[in-house]
Structure 1
Amino acid sequence: MRGSVKAEITPMFKQYFKVKHQYPDAVLFFRLGDFYEMFFEDAETVAPLLGLVLTKREAGKGLTAPMCGVPVEKALFYIQKLVDLGFKVAICEQVEDPATSKGLVKREVVKIYTPGLMVDLELPEKSKTYLASLYLDKKAGLAFLELSCGEFIFTEVNRETFLSELLKREPREILCLEEFAESEWISLIKGSLPKVHLSFLDKRAFGLTQVEDLLKLPYYERYQEGLKAANAILVYLQNYQPHLLDKIEAPVFYYPEEFLFLDEATKRNLELVKNLWDGSEKYSLFWVLDATVTPMGARLLKEWIIYPLRDINQIKLRQEAVSFLVEKPDLRDALREVLKKLPDLERLSTKCSLRLINPKEMALLRDSLKYLPEIKEIFSEIDQLPRLLRDILSQLGEFTGLYQRLCEVLVENPPYTLKDGGIIKRGIDPTLDELRDLKDHAVDYLSAIERKEREKTGIPNLRIGYNRVFGYYFEVSKGNVRLVPPYFERKQTLTNVERFVTPELKELEQKIITAEEKIKNLEYELFLGLREEVAQYKEDLKRTSLGLATLDVLVSLAKVAVENDYVCPEITEEEGLYIEEGRHPVIEKIQGKERFIPNSVELKKDEAVLLVITGPNMGGKSTYLRQTALIVIMAQMGSFVPAKYARLGVFDKVFTRIGAGDELARGKSTFMVEMSECAYILKNATSKSLVVLDEVGRGTSTYDGMSIAWAIAENLYEKKVFTLLATHYFELTELGKIYTGIKNYHVAVKEWQDDIIFMYKVLPGAANKSHGIEVAKLAGIPQEVVDRAKEILYKLERKNLKEPSETKIASKRVTQLSIFDREHPVLQKIRNLNIEEITPVEALNFLWEIKKELK
């Protein structure tokens, strides 16, 4: 607070500062009546962001507090906006009734929203919202909490690959050691996830105190870094949402090695779940494959795309289920119709276990249970089911008793709020029924007392009245006052009448006045009891929601396969791949299958380990590279693939080096990004990996770039890494003459007069020219520039311009010649060589012949 005079501030602001001091990093929503107010720096910061008017309030002698506020009933809208902007929001409530409290109303922070802890705010249906934790030591420990789905997992990876694993899940908030706040790792995280919120914690948070209570450490104790990351999440939860701490399940360790490794560049370049141009899901692989009808199914499909399998048996189980559904369109349609009716059972069941579910959501849960028997009934008519579908059926719990209980207790259409009544049916609680009866028939009860007392006293005009000062009363005319019995207590004397009350009337009045509030409170208590009952089914509900999500994904993959004419790939133990007439799934969907030109590719150990693909820009090289990588990913996630036929071994990693647009926006040069990614690939690729390289070396001078591309290709080939290399450097086609496992391919074009026609076919052999000038003309380069370019090209080819220095490309590790062996025939050949006239390609051929002679 600026300019505060603590000794003279008002009691309310003393209370405010005491609370704010406990949560200095959060925007404090301070409850005052029907509003949440923000003061001082909080108000000045958020008012322009939320479109609120900044006003002032007297805070003490000589002290004015800037303030803004939002109505309590609309607060979630503003909280959501702040959290989406990366703020933490602390909700400070009045925890006692202002009408009955003496002095200042007691207030406490009851909830804190952070970007990673927002389970009861509006969440994206098809995405998860993770809170992540990172602990760096000898290894990198990672932990992820997704509160809305009840997911708490942790793992360990080496320090070089932690960023890829972290970025796969795109967390909204990451917990880090405060001592790393200025480190290179944090800069990398910020560069890759510019919207992420980083929260820095003291080293004590990364201990083992909290996690010891949840886990049997002897089993997990070797994963120290992972455990410490998980512990930090528990500490953070204790600080910010302590009411949820005892409801969180123990974290589960997962093994990244069980899945196909995809680094961040590959996930981004292949546009697996987001496109590159606006970051939306449209035109991504997820967009193509997503025919799911439930939110939980869509989220699981994304996970399958980001985490393809490496276990051949698990892949085949998924394939078997998809194939079965492909062949049974009626079954697919029937399942989709039932699945469409289901709400987000995964998040509803999690809200139940966290005791956060509201009455409206409880009704949705009730209705979803009604449809589960329909799914079982659909499958009951089929004799032999694939194993995965049988497993799914076994996951679907038996909830007949729970469904009947919810139908019995909940009204058909309850409200969202817990404390406004209208939740519980009649016949559930006698006291509630009595209170409702009293509220609904108050006039009848008053009339009955009036009638009874009129008969009892003999006062013919005795009647019951009401005002705000005295409440209900008996009114007696002056002439009949003598008939008033002793138990009538005089309350007011007027000119012509007198007003009385009786113990019975006061008791009934108290019941009528408090009935509404008692009904709401009792319904609230009964609903909490019902919520506890449902929470006992949390494990069955969670298992059921996973089974339904898996079924939704399998049906989706089958539907997409049929609609797009995909085939089931043959997954083998043999390394390599053969794809006949493969297609790019996204481009094909945009253009239509009839317009897309398919291409085949084969990678085989020793025979075709590395393919060098040449040809003009716009000819389809990049599409060819991308579709091959996408087909591998689709095959290993259990999907059918866009091809006429496909046979693939199981790959351990997929790497891509395509483009650098995102990194350029972050201030990195094209060449630096390219070399960094290539270095990462060379260090991590294995003989079971697939590497896709597009135009390596283009960010520097021609000879430097060509030399680097050549050396990278050789290195990958020597490691037997399956590689597709698209290049403009035609000199690289010489690799195919040197190494038996390197093959040349080119994208075909046809020349017509001065124009070219792209055939979009990839054929064996090297391209004979680049067609760069023709492509420039197609791109709209003015005709005079095109003509001048042709003239310069002609002169260069005729060597009428001064030639640059000769490129010297050599095959590696030629046996060294002894300088004393003058009679060796190879030396005689070298002496006779005219270095001034030899071309680079001729030099390569010459060296190749020498190498053969020396063997």
Structure 2
Amino acid sequence: MSRMMQQYHDAKAQHPGMIVLFRNGDFYELFEDDAELGSRVLGITLTKRDGTIPMAGVPVHKLEHYLGLLLRAGHRVAVCEQMEEPDPKKKIIHREVNRIVTPGTVTDDVLLDPRAPNHLVALGVGKPGVFGLAWVDLSTGHFSAADVPAPRLSDELSRLNGSECLYAESLTALVAQAAGSYLPKSRVARPDWTFDPSTALAALKTHFQVGTLSGFGFEDEQPCLVAAGAVIIYLQETLKASLQHIRRLRPHRSDALLTLDEVTRRSLELTRTLRDSQRDGSLLSVLDRSVTPMGARLLHDSVLAPLTDPVAINGRLDAVEELLKDHALRRNLRDHLESCADIQRLTTRVSTAKAGPRDLSAIARTLRKLPAVKAKLAGRRAPLLQDLEKRLELCPDIREVLDKAIEEDPPHIAKEGGVIRPGYSAELDELRALATDGKNWIARYQAQEITRTGIASLKVGYNEIDGYYLEITNANETKTPPEYKHQKTLKNAKRYYTPALREYEEKVVTSQDKSRALELQLFLTLRDQVAAQTPRLLNTADVLAALDMLAALAELAAARNYVRPVLVDEPVLDVRDGRHPVLDQILPPGTFVPNDAAFGPDDGTFWLVTGPNMAGKSTFLRQVALITLMAHVGSFVPAKSAKIGLTDRIFTRVGASDELSRGQSTFMVEMTEAANILNNATPRSLVILDEIGRGTSTYDGVSLAWAMTEFLHGTIGCRALFATHYHELAQLASALPRLRNYNVLVRELEDEIVFLHKIAPGNAERSYGIHVARLAGVPEAVLARAAAVLESLEKQHELPVTAAAPDAPVKKGNVVLPPEAPRRKPKLKPQISGPSLFGEAEDAPF
């Protein structure tokens, strides 16, 4: 094995489970299994080294691009760098891993989504049925933990959308069983000792320099602290850098937040669309008018975890209202914020010693904006704006030193020089002057030699290979003074040097080297000074994020004519002329039809909504849920008026799909989601049901829908909207006092119908499914036969009898029907007080 390949294998052995990118000249090379994997993931050519070893490579200048591809595929990467310049005298270049990049520990902007958090999560196990969950966004320092019941683990993992997950090796099977597909692509089974309670707790206490975590709101025995300690140990091993920007561990209080399970977040398309999982078209995409990445991330988190504390909600609403009414204030604040850099992530890079000159320059530029922002907040009425004004630190000492030291537009890399302003360091100025004066010296020396030799074309030049030289053309070779020493022969000229030239060259080059070395040291010292102020900078960043989110919500309300919701303690919901927040923006202006939704003692708390497909039932249901959620975020809402009772959870059961990997059919998925609602909803919950029981026989389905309606209405007593094509359920209105029938209006014009998209009292008598099938392009022969079957069913509850022989297929047009089988007239009689489902039938299967 060659010495270079031995270096590669050493790096692999020291970083198990990671892909090693091995620097070799102008390429980072991958070998053996890494090369084969890289060829598939990166789409690069697979070749052979020495004819036998699989090899692939990526150019050095495109490293960040290929790192991004590997991270998004869930891989962890160790970059093995050349630590010295190639030297012909040495047979092997010293290399070592100087950078580890994993999906959950990346801090480089180019590898991150600026408008979304990037979570590293860890799972520990407590008492049976409870998991300890901890998560950190290393790029901002936000670190949280909570004990999570096993049934809610998948919901929390879905909310966090982690990029990397840690767990103990011995728990691999248990974690896979409990979390399954909700685990991130990058899954790291860590040595069990890193999840040992005493070891993990000691790591936490050492990091935060505390004797107990009770000051953070935890009890030392909580399993989530084991997960949090495992996170700190992993970061220390992986980064080998300061973690001072992780200042505290926050307890995640689910009881202070409106709970949204994974099904609800997905069904309501809060941050991603169902169809293509893109941000565009989601609720977040239309709400987000933020002008900073910090504000965008805060809004992202707020949409996924709305508030339930009325004081906190109204605090946000007061601030949004003041910013909405004061147009000049809002505009000026947003103008200042728009020019602010992402100092959350910049400060993280500073504190982990990864920041470059432009990062410090961006921090300085942002700090210059703070006095104007603070002045705009002075004298505000809203308590939250007053609090933000008090918390906003101007950091004048940091700004002053950066303004004096860092150039306005410095280079990316400190080693290149040109980072430090003139006047900041007298020593640096002297060294630079020497280098600058060197140009004048060369000009004088060249003029002097031209005069002395009489060679008008003589010139003095410099390059890194030859150093300083005198160049004389071949035509003037005879005039060359004897003291000139020959250095190089060119095609049309010769190059020479003199002792005076060599002496000055050494002086200038030395001064340039000293200048760059001093400048680099000054930059590193400045970076350390800024890193020491990490808590103050991150506090300022949090204030700017909150201001940006509040101003963005005010801008949204102004642009879309939103109204302030009134939050009340009673479980009511009264929305007048409500609009779907996404469709209202996507559709042409004036085309969306608003609707009312009134829930309360007089209006009922359970709405049964019937009507044809495509008429707008699903839109209306989601609209009510989204307006409720927006109010709990602290946002104004798309309506003429809105009174919303405080809600603890929003549940949705909308559509379904097979989950074959779990062995679950569409109907099983539907029933699992329904069971979650029935077992966990409370009187303060809002339940959205868009069809129930459609994946089984008609009678099974209607029976289940009937029983679930009774349970939600009577046993739970929550606010609920149920869209259904089971028109028979309308009879429940006579037996259930809080149930009301509503339908989506349509207008019939001969054989066509017009969807009015308006919700009105009463129940629909038809579903118009055949009409919708015609719009979808179903063949006319099928539609005609369906119409005949429907007519017969509506008259007799039986399939039509044909004239064909009992065992022979029946052909009508191009449609072949199966032979008729003996049929019994269906009879169904639910056990409730009130009319039966199909009239006075006997032998009901209940």
* Secondary structure in 1 matching 2:559: helix
Q: State the partner residue of 2:107.
A: 119
Q: Deviations over 1:503-546 (max 9, x none)?
A: x9876543323333333222211111111111232222212112
* Structure 1 residues 581-596: aligned runs within 5 Å: 581-592=577-588, 594-596=590-592
Q: State the partner residue of 1:487.
A: none
Confirm whether residue 339 of structure 1 aligns to residue 337 of structure 2.
Answer: yes
* Secondary structure in 2 matching 1:600: strand
Matching residue within 172, 177, 196 for 1:181? 172
* Structure 1 residues 238-249: aligned runs within 5 Å: 238-245=236-243, 248-249=246-247
Q: Deviations over 1:71-102 (max 9, x none)?
A: 43332222222222222110122334555997
Residue 105 of structure 1: how far off its partner (Å): 3.7
Q: Deviations over 1:403-446 (max 9, x none)?
A: 23212111221111122112112222233223322322335557
d(CA) in 2 for partners of 1:500 and 1:593? 79
| Unaligned stretches of 5+ residues in structure 1 | 1-8, 476-480, 485-489, 493-498, 815-837, 848-855
CA contact (8 A) 1:577 1:649 kept: yes
Matching residue within 14, 28, 33 for 2:6? 14
CA contact (8 A) 2:827 2:843 kept: no
Q: State the partner residue of 1:372.
A: 370
Which amino acid is 1:20 matched to? K
Deviates more, 1:324-333 or 1:430-439: 430-439
* Structure 1 residues 287-326: aligned runs within 5 Å: 287-326=285-324
Deviates more, 1:414-423 or 1:794-803: 794-803
CA contact (8 A) 2:730 2:741 kept: yes
Q: Deviations over 1:720-746 (max 9, x none)?
A: 122111111122222222221222222
Which amino acid is 1:409 matched to? A
- How many matched pairs? 795
* Structure 1 residues 184-199: aligned runs within 5 Å: 186=176, 189-192=179-182, 196-199=185-188
Matching residue within 773, 787, 790 for 2:787? 790
d(CA) in 1 for partners of 2:89 and 2:82? 11
Which amino acid is 1:124 matched to? D
Residue 615 of structure 1: how far off its partner (Å): 1.8
CA contact (8 A) 1:806 1:839 kept: no
CA contact (8 A) 1:304 1:637 kept: yes
Q: Among all aligned residue pairs of Structure 1 and Structure 2, give the percentage whose two residues are the same amino acid.
A: 39
Q: Deviations over 1:577-614 (max 9, x none)?
A: 11122211111112245222222222225972322212
Q: State the partner residue of 2:428.
A: 432
CA contact (8 A) 1:136 1:159 kept: no
Which amino acid is 1:809 matched to? P
Matching residue within 14, 20, 23 for 2:15? 23
Confirm whether residue 603 of structure 1 aligns to residue 599 of structure 2.
Answer: yes
Q: State the partner residue of 2:745.
A: 748
d(CA) in 2 for partners of 1:430 and 1:330? 46
| TM-score, normalised with respect to structure 2 | 0.86
d(CA) in 2 for partners of 1:356 and 1:140? 34
Q: State the partner residue of 1:42.
A: 34
Quickly say closer, same or farther: Cα 1:576–1:14, change in 2 above 3 A.
same
Deviates more, 1:310-319 or 1:389-398: 389-398
* Secondary structure in 2 matching 1:186: helix
Matching residue within 610, 615, 620 for 1:624? 620
Quickly say closer, same or farther: Cα 1:473–1:111, change in 2 above 3 A.
closer
d(CA) in 2 for partners of 1:347 and 1:619? 47
CA contact (8 A) 2:658 2:665 kept: no
* Secondary structure in 1 matching 2:34: helix
Matching residue within 522, 527, 531 for 1:531? 527
Residue 632 of structure 1: how far off its partner (Å): 0.6
* Secondary structure in 2 matching 1:160: helix
CA contact (8 A) 1:248 1:354 kept: no
Which amino acid is 2:275 matched to? W
* Structure 1 residues 506-545: aligned runs within 5 Å: 508-545=504-541
CA contact (8 A) 2:245 2:535 kept: no
| TM-score, normalised with respect to structure 1 | 0.85
d(CA) in 1 for partners of 2:581 and 2:274? 16
d(CA) in 1 for partners of 2:267 and 2:193? 39
* Secondary structure in 1 matching 2:508: helix
* Secondary structure in 2 matching 1:595: coil
* Secondary structure in 1 matching 2:289: coil
Confirm whether residue 110 of structure 1 aligns to residue 110 of structure 2.
Answer: no
Residue 374 of structure 1: how far off its partner (Å): 2.0
* Secondary structure in 1 matching 2:99: strand
Deviates more, 1:567-576 or 1:441-450: 441-450
CA contact (8 A) 1:214 1:250 kept: no
Q: State the partner residue of 1:546.
A: 542
d(CA) in 1 for partners of 2:605 and 2:841? 21
CA contact (8 A) 2:81 2:95 kept: yes
Q: State the partner residue of 1:728.
A: 725
Residue 696 of structure 1: how far off its partner (Å): 0.7
Quickly say closer, same or farther: Cα 1:18–1:773, change in 2 above 3 A.
closer
* Structure 1 residues 528-677: aligned runs within 5 Å: 528-592=524-588, 594-604=590-600, 608-661=604-657, 663=659, 668-677=664-673
* Secondary structure in 2 matching 1:129: coil
CA contact (8 A) 1:411 1:422 kept: yes
Confirm whether residue 91 of structure 1 aligns to residue 91 of structure 2.
Answer: no
CA contact (8 A) 2:827 2:841 kept: no
Residue 277 of structure 1: how far off its partner (Å): 1.3
Quickly say closer, same or farther: Cα 1:83–1:244, change in 2 above 3 A.
farther
* Secondary structure in 1 matching 2:410: coil
CA contact (8 A) 2:657 2:669 kept: no
Matching residue within 277, 280, 291 for 2:278? 280
Confirm whether residue 811 of structure 1 aligns to residue 832 of structure 2.
Answer: yes
Q: State the partner residue of 2:138.
A: 147
Confirm whether residue 770 of structure 1 aligns to residue 761 of structure 2.
Answer: no
d(CA) in 1 for partners of 2:161 and 2:358? 30
Quickly say closer, same or farther: Cα 1:743–1:72, change in 2 above 3 A.
same
Quickly say closer, same or farther: Cα 1:473–1:72, change in 2 above 3 A.
closer
d(CA) in 2 for partners of 1:180 and 1:808? 51
CA contact (8 A) 1:132 1:174 kept: yes
| Unaligned stretches of 5+ residues in structure 2 | 472-480, 488-495, 800-822
Q: State the partner residue of 1:712.
A: 708
Residue 641 of structure 1: how far off its partner (Å): 0.9
d(CA) in 1 for partners of 2:704 and 2:787? 29
* Secondary structure in 1 matching 2:695: coil
* Secondary structure in 2 matching 1:441: helix
Which amino acid is 1:325 matched to? L
* Structure 1 residues 97-496: aligned runs within 5 Å: 98-99=86-87, 104-120=92-108, 121-138=110-127, 139-183=130-174, 186=176, 189-192=179-182, 196-207=185-196, 208=200, 209-215=202-208, 216=210, 217-219=212-214, 220-222=218-220, 224-245=222-243, 248-380=246-378, 383-442=379-438, 444=440
Q: Deviations over 1:340-393 (max 9, x none)?
A: 22222221222222222111122122111222222233344xx44211111122
d(CA) in 2 for partners of 1:438 and 1:464? 18
d(CA) in 2 for partners of 1:69 and 1:269? 42
Residue 621 of structure 1: how far off its partner (Å): 1.3
d(CA) in 1 for partners of 2:583 and 2:460? 81
* Secondary structure in 2 matching 1:378: helix
* Secondary structure in 2 matching 1:601: strand
Deviates more, 1:439-448 or 1:129-138: 439-448
Which amino acid is 1:80 matched to? G
d(CA) in 1 for partners of 2:467 and 2:674? 84
d(CA) in 2 for partners of 1:167 and 1:653? 16
Residue 15 of structure 1: how far off its partner (Å): 2.4
d(CA) in 2 for partners of 1:776 and 1:465? 83
